[in-house]
Amino acid sequence: LCTSPADKLVFASIMNAYKVMEEGHKATF
């Protein structure tokens, strides 16, 4: 697994988007 700063940034934004999506699910249903 390559852990360059750019990869960490991409991974962080993906995780953040996933959390937001999950929260949206809880609020919707």
Residue 1 confidence class, pLDDT cut points 50, 70, 90: low
Would you state the structure tokens that stand for residue 21, as one six-digit string? 């999506």
SS3 4: coil
pLDDT (0 to 100) of residue 14: 93
The 10s digit of each residue's pLDDT in 14-28 is: 999 999 988 887 766
Would you state the structure tokens that stand for residue 11, as one six-digit string? 């991974």
Whole-number Å distance between alpha carbons of 22 and 29: 11
> pTM to 2 decimals?
0.56
Would you state the structure tokens that stand for residue 16, as one six-digit string? 């953040």
